[in-house]
Each structure stands twice: as structure tokens, then as C-alpha cells.
Structure 1
């Protein structure tokens, strides 16, 4: 295992903690800043939308630069955003801090996915990407629960101060452990964006939106579900989130292994299971034992899709892997935003605290249908020729 993958995982840990660490603190943030529960949830969806914007626009801007230097610059932006969040005097400034930190998220994972996959052989690419995403899942296993616990005892701002420190450590780790890279071959924006002319690229993006929209739709308001429906005390929420995080860690690892063996089949099975788990959680949330089991399964199945979805889009855009992976990170977070928004609408409509889980199940079920349709289109077609078939840029279009 290349040691540089550990550095990428370290950066992913900090970014993952920023994205999801606030979930367990939404009740405290809502109370302290004087906003409603659904409005507090927009700190999740606002972050996700900003990730989507940064993933596409920043990735396009940095595609021709040295990838290690890009990763260092993005981590610096991440640190600044969390500093703003830590000192935010009101909801609006907190949202600004979330947006600044989010802008680096998509590009970091997009560039990082390419760097990780370049470190290993062809048949180990999904595994390498899953290791990089292991930092994200580790944030769920340890970072989110501990961040929630820290915020509950010392105020939610203390969590953002801790994330800032982690960002500094991650910055040093990337500088020391990620090997030197060379600037990618010069290319044109027309060629980079040419990947979006392929139907399978758009199908991959749609699947990513729906897969992550489903799981985040249920997860965003999980603290309310656990306390208001399952009957757990607020102080137990951080420890319950450890179960979700442990599930994501295991699911991410085995999801990468499964994707390396049978990409489309594994994705179909995992997303179908996710739909069932979300529905089961909604049906049994009043039972504490079943709530615990469902929370663990939700984490395991929910994040198991990430490596396979990343590999799928990169296979259909092999001539523009950085842009494709960045766009897929954007799709993940568009899904996050849509899921959180739909869950908030369900809560605002008075549908109850299990309604986000039902919303998530419906969104994921739609993703299964899109995946099945996309799999039918690829039968009998090779993915490499599709990528190679993209027209080469004219000499005048090549960026200098």
C-alpha cells in the first residue's frame, strides 16, 4: 500500500468531519442561533451545494496544475473556512464559513481520486479509492461522534476549532507523505468538458445523486429521529453515531472490493439493500434495538456505493478523469443537498421525524431504476472505446 494513500485519507478525514460533524450538533446550533430545525438543516444542504459548485468550477480551473500543489492549496482553503465557522457570531456567517470550506471538498476528492488510482495497478483502483475515502468513513466512526460529544460539552464552536487543528495536521501530512507529482498533460477545457457528451457519464452522475441523496436524506435529521422517535437521550446520540460510522468504514472497504470484482452487479445489489434498510429503519424506529441495528446497516450499505460509483464514471471518461471524478463528487453532494432539502420539507409538512427515512428510501429506489437502465445500455459495449472516441482538441484549443 503506497504511504501517500494514508495522507489522502488524512485529508479526507478532516473534510468528512466538516461535512457530517454538524449533523449531531444541529439541535445545539438551532437553539444557540435562534433558528428552526429545518433551517439548521440547511447548513448541511448549503455545504453540499457549495461542494457541487467547487467540484466542477475549481476542478476545471486546476486540471492542468501539479496535483500535489493543488491538494495543498485546497487544504488551506479548508482551514480558512473552518476558522470562519468557529468564530461565526450568527447563522449567516456560519453559513459563509461552511461555504468556504465546502468549495475545496469536491476538488480535493476529485484530484485525490485520480492520484490514488494512479498509485496502483488497474485491478486495484477501486480499492485505492476506497482507502482514500476511508478518511471520510473514519470521520464518521470517530470524528463525528467525538465532535458531537465535544460540541455538547464545550459548545458547538469548539468542534470547529478542533477541525481547524485537524486541517493543519492534514496539510502537513500531505506535504510530507504524498509523492511529488507532475502537471497533467496540457489539455483544453473543450476536451475536459467533452466527457459530458457521453450518455453513460450523465447516467453515472444521476446514479450518484440518487444514491447519496437517499442515504443523506435519512441521515441529516437522524439526531431528531433517535431522540424524538426512538426515545434515546440526547447524551447518547454521539455514541449511537459511532455505530453509523463503524458501518460506513466496513461498507466502504467491502464496497471497494466488490466493485473491483463486479462493478455494475455490486452497485445494483448495494443500492437495492440500501432502499430496504431505509424503509426498515422508518418502520421500526420506535424500537430501540431495531433503531440501533438499522443505524449500523444504514452506514454500512450507504457508503458502500462510493468507490464503485467513482470507478464507474472514470471508466466512461478515461480521457478526462480529473473532471469526471470532480463532477461525480459534485453529484454526491447535489444528492446530499436534495436529500437534506426533501427531508426538511417532509419535517416542515408535519410528516414526523421518520419521514426523512421514507424520503431517502424513495430516492434510492429511483437510483436503482436508473442504474438498471444504464446497465442495459452498456451491455455489449466496451467503455474504453467510448472514452477514446472523444474528438481531440484542435491545436488552437490546447491550454498553454
Structure 2
């Protein structure tokens, strides 16, 4: 099972690192872009906001035709955003790049988790999904120290280049396995954000016992 899922786990590691890697090099980025740490910190907010919205909105549309296409598009957007971050000449481009990266990451998380579950038998779905979650967690834990270590020895742009390298490795592996990726069933999915209107999740609509 691990042989099937490992490219998705590597993608999740890249995503997890990217979530917090910027936090470790905020002062360097601010100095390089001639701005304040607070302004650069908005990049984390931009990433998170795009991450939260892109997955629910675009998952169904992208996976209707081909799972491979959906996951490669998500990885492509994610890698492109990080590449623009690495080359950003000013804070405006930097913030825009974090929005692009966050959107790709949000879609990637949703598609990778669903694909991992669909690649194995029903009795192994929990383990497959946990491997993707492990990649996210491992990358998140490693994000700040990796960013600081590479940033101190080289530069914050090298830190972002490291994330791009991991993303490209995963993208290459998934491209080679594109024909083996299962098609995801999206026909039974409810409209986006329906859960927010459910009485089970909205406190004001919970029925009293």
C-alpha cells in the first residue's frame, strides 16, 4: 500500500512544510523586500484564506474528468505559487504568490486525501488517508526549523526553492503513475458549504433535547 500512496505523501510533506516555512524566515523576507515583518506576515493569512476556500469550491469541478489531471493541476498551481514566491521582487508579488500557493494547496489536500482512499481496498482506506495526514503533519513540524536552517546558511529564496524541489519530485512521480490513479466519484456530492447550513454544525439550529 505504501508503494501506491508514497507520491501523495511526498506531496503532503511539501504542502506541510510550505504552511509554516515562511514563519521561520519572516525577518529575512522583510529585509529583502524592503518592507515590514507585519506586511510579510500577511502572506500567511493570504495563504490560509485561499487554502480554506479553494478546496471546497474547486475539488468537484476538477475531479469530474480525471483524477490525474486534477492532482497535477493542483500540484502545478502549488509549485508555480512557490516559484513566484521565491522570485518575488516586491511584497505585492509576494502576497499574490501566497494566494496562488494557498489555492493549489487547498485543492491538493482534498484531492490527495480522496485519491489515497480510492487507491486501496476498503479495509485499507483509513491507513492510506493517515499516510497523507502524516505527510502534512511531518511537513508542518519540519517547516519552521527547515526554513530557518536553510535560510541562515543560504537565503530565504533557497528555502522556497527547497519546497519547490519537493513539489516537483512528487509531481514527477504522479505523472509517471497518472494512468493508475483511480477516478473519483463526484456525482453524489452535495452543494459546496451545505454543511454550514446543517443543524448539526450551526449552534443556533441545534435542537434542544
TM-score for both structures, normalised by structure 1 = 0.46
Tell me the residue number matched to 1:38.
Answer: 38
| Cross-structure match for 1:196 | 194
Q: Separation in 2 of the partners of 1:132 and 1:179?
A: 20
Structure 2 CA distance for aligned equivalents of residues 117 and 84 of structure 1: 32
Q: Tell me the SS of whatever aligns to 2:89.
A: coil
Give the match for residue 153 of structure 2. Answer: 153
Distance in 2 separating the partners of 1:145 and 1:129: 26
Q: Which residue of 1 aligns with 2:58?
A: 58
Q: 1:165 offset after TM fit, Å?
A: 1.7
Q: Does the alignment pair 1:11 with 2:40?
A: no
For the 8 Å contact 1:7–1:173, the answer to whether it is kept is yes
Larger Rg: 1
- How far residue 44 of structure 1 moved from its aligned partner, in angstroms, is 0.6
Q: Which runs of 5+ in 2 are unaligned?
A: none
* 1:208-253 superposed Cα distances (whole Å, 9 cap, x missing partner): xxxxxxxxxxxxxxxxxxxxxxxxxxxxxxxxxxxxxxxxxxxxxx
1:21 is paired with a residue whose SS is helix
TM-score by length of structure 2 reads 0.83
Cα deviation for residue 141 of structure 1 reads: 4.0
1:166-215 CA-partner distances (Å, limit 9, x unpaired) = 22111012223566235445738xx5307716626x72xx8xxxxxxxxx
Cα shift at 1:138: 2.2
User: 5+ residue gaps in structure 1?
Assistant: 207-369, 380-400
Aligned residues: 207
Per-residue deviation at 1:98?
1.2
1:185 & 1:140 partners in 2: Cα distance?
A: 30
CA distance in 2, matches of 1:162, 1:34: 23
Question: What is the CA-CA distance between 1:151 and the residue it aligns to?
Answer: 1.2
Q: What is the RMSD computed on CA atoms of the aligned residues? A: 3.0
Give, in angstroms, the shift of residue 100 of structure 1: 1.3
- The DSSP-based 3-state class of the residue aligned with 2:145 is helix
Q: Partner residue of 1:241?
A: none
Displacement of 1:94 after TM fit?
Answer: 0.8
Q: Give the direction of change, closer, same or farther, for the CA distance of 1:49–1:68 in structure 2 (3 Å limit).
A: same
Runs in 1 of length 4+ with deviation above 6 angstroms? none
Cross-structure match for 2:97:
97
For 2:136 and 2:186, how far apart are their aligned partners in 1? Answer: 31
Q: Given the superposition, is the C-alpha separation of residues 185 and 56 from structure 1 closer, same or farther in structure 2, using an over 3 Å criterion? A: closer
